[in-house]
Amino acid sequence: MKKWIFFSIILFCAFLQTGFTGFFRIFGASADLLLICLVAASFFFKQKTAVFFGFLCGILKDLLDIQVFGIHTLLFTVVSVLLTKLSRKLSVENSYLAAVIVFLSSILYGILARFVFSYIDNIIPLGVFWRISILQALYTACVFYFIFRFFKRLIQI
Amino acid sequence: MVLSEKLLAKNDFLRNKINDLNEVLEENKRLRELVSFKNNSGYKVIAAAVIGRGPSNWSSSIIIDKGSSRGIKKGNVSMTFLGLAGRVVEVNNTTSKIMLINDPALSVSAVIQRSRQEALVCGSLGGSLIMKYLPKDSDIKINDSVVTSGLTQNYPKGLLIGTVEDIGEEFSSLSRYAVIKPAVNLSNLEEVLIILQ
């Protein structure tokens, strides 16, 4: 039941991300709702399930994006594996800490994405990269902080 | 008491109706402008509605409700009646994905309409575009219009890209750059035209 609820949340977030978050961009950056789902999965589920959800978020992002198919799936899975290892040592009760983890994951995801994009000749200028990276990380962490309790309540049903 | 409740309910209903009609009116205005452009331009174009946006912050794209079944091909140029919007990068049977001009992966050869100075316009994932590789002595002023040069494959010549907002010097001091304000508001596109020929 818990897994199905989370699966529905992921689908809903993917829908929101293609339909609405574009209207709430700040200097070209918006909150990454699928990354939030990935971090939440690593807090609330066992390693295998969390990595599967990370993989699923990546596939959904790849399906809707214009980049080469598989990039987001690969990056999300890598970030998910790293996070599940880290989250075993942390408490889910502390929302500040969770928001900091989201911030760091978003920065890590940005750095990995830039490496992969440059490998496929899609070089993002350094200035643009830092602007998007930091704004996206801050924005995502803030959104996560506010919806973290909601996530917890929903998962605990 | 009952009458006032009925009136309040009717008031709510009419408010909703007015809101719906305003929405239709706005859509009608936009579609009229699109149809007028479609009839007056020499291009063979097809209109499409935007049904989604790219989920990633590392690219700028939209999804439209027309695909290969309507003759859209990869590489077709997308625009609105105001100017250039982007380029089709992925086509399915009933939908297509368009990379918008503010994506850093999209570069278009462009000229300053007044002085015919040529340069390259690239995206910056934000609200502005960057015109690169302008010679130091280039004739460029604020508010100059920037149009496509026709040198990039598929892009028709003379399509409005935007206007010059700011001019600066590259860090190397070898060339200058200009910040371009796109003619099309890329953050709230609702309908686009795809140039088929």
Question: Using CA atoms in the order B158, B160, B166, B169, what is the torsion angle rounded to 10 degrees?
Answer: -40
Task: List the 108-127 stretch of A: residues with Cβ below 8 A of B.
Answer: 110, 113, 117, 122-125
Tokens of A148: 């973290």
Domain ranges of chain A: 2-155
Report percent pLDDT > 70 for chain B.
Answer: 99
- What is the architecture of the domain spanning B107-182? Beta Barrel (2.40)
pTM of the model: 0.80
Range of lowest pLDDT (A113-117, B117-121, B191-195): A113-117
At B1 the pLDDT is 61
Query: Which tens digit of pLDDT belongs to each residue from B72-109?
Result: 999 999 998 888 999 999 999 999 999 999 888 888 99
What is the ipTM for the molecules in this complex? 0.76
What pLDDT is stored for residue A92 in this prediction?
65
With a cut of 90, say whether residue B164 has pLDDT above it. yes
pLDDT tens, residue by residue, B23-53:
888 888 878 877 777 777 777 888 899 998 8
User: What are the tens digits of pLDDT across the range B6-25?
Assistant: 888 889 889 989 988 988 88
Tell if the CB–CB gap between B104 and A123 is shorter than 8 Å: yes
Q: What is the mean pLDDT of each run of 10 residues along chain A (157 residues)?
A: 85 84 76 87 86 91 84 88 80 77 87 84 82 89 84 69
- More confident position, B152 or B129: B129
- At A113 the pLDDT is 85
Residue from B51, B53, B57 to probe the interface with A (highest A Cβ count within 10 Å): B57
Distance from CA of A19 to the nearest CA of B (A): 5
Instruction: Determine the residue among B51, B53, B58 to mutate to test chain A binding: the one whose Cβ has the most chain A Cβ atoms within 10 Å.
Output: B58
Query: What is the predicted pLDDT for the residue at B182?
Result: 92
DSSP reduced 3-state for A28 = coil
**CATH annotation of A2-155:** 1.10.1760
Torsion of CA A131, A136, A141, A144, to 10 degrees: 170
Q: Three-state secondary structure along chain B?
A: CHHHHHHHHHHHHHHHHHHHHHHHHHHHHHHHHHHHHHHHCCCCEEEEEEEEECCCCCCCEEEECCCHHHCCCCCCEEEECCEEEEEEEEECCCCEEEEECCCCCCEEEEEECCCCCEEEEEECCCCCEEEEEEECCCCCCCCCEEEECCCCCCCCCCCEEEEEEEEEECCCCCEEEEEEEECCCHHHCCEEEEECC
Angle A9-A11-A17 from CA coordinates, rounded to 5°: 100
Q: What is the mean pLDDT of chain B?
A: 87
